[in-house]
Structure 1
Amino acid sequence: MSIHAKAGHLLASVVVASALSFTAYAQYSGPSTVGKGTVAEILSNPVDDQAVQMQGHLLRQTSHDKYIFSDGTGEIVAEIKAKHFAGQAVDEKTKVEIVGEVDTGMTRPPEIEVDSVRVIK
């Protein structure tokens, strides 16, 4: 077997192993250290980079990747990249779960930097 064929097999093995490891990560449903705080708690005592997981609604889009999120206790800006919607249809009536971290700033109120969005059925 030539060195090019061996390299091709090695590359294919790495790609398959990587794909399988991402699938396993996405399906994890065990315990987590992600906090389940509320918008009101975050606004009253923001902690930069604090992990959060909340359920509520995206009330409106304010810019390209910024949305107003509400869990019923208050409203906060959620920064969500298009890829995090993963093709899910979401409007202001759709209940979603967002997971991300608090992002504080010196000249603006805290925001949530969202890592994932999941529609709650």
Structure 2
Amino acid sequence: MYGQTFYVTNGGTYGSSWIHADLQEADEQCCVNRVAKIMRQHKLKAQIVYKRSHIKGGKASRIVDNLLARKFNPAAPNQSWVSDISYMGTYEGFLYVATGMDLFSRRIMGWPMDNIWINTLL
């Protein structure tokens, strides 16, 4: 049986849809439901491969003072600014984008970009 061969050679990780695709490439004609039925009869189930997460703990981030005290409606322009930094993965590496917004006018005042994260972006 070709299906069992594909199942074994791929470490038991192939389900009926992948085995069906391999069978079609080998010019074997059958439908995916037939492959699933045969797999059930032979008690073959795809083993789910989980990726291990590698979260490394580090030092706690520095906690800064809450200068705004949740007062997000200043009375005049240029009294309160907020900023954020984000990054995007590209083929050439990461691109870091920082934004600064005046809370009075709610306008973005600037968005510098760089390929390295540095404190001067903000």
Higher strand share: 1
Q: Tell me whether the two structures share a fold, i.e. TM-score over 0.5.
A: no
Instruction: Please give the TM-score of this superposition, normalised by the length of structure 2.
Output: 0.17
RCO higher in 1 or 2 (8 Å CA, sep ≥ 6)?
Answer: 1
Asked which structure has the greater CA Rg, the reply is: 2
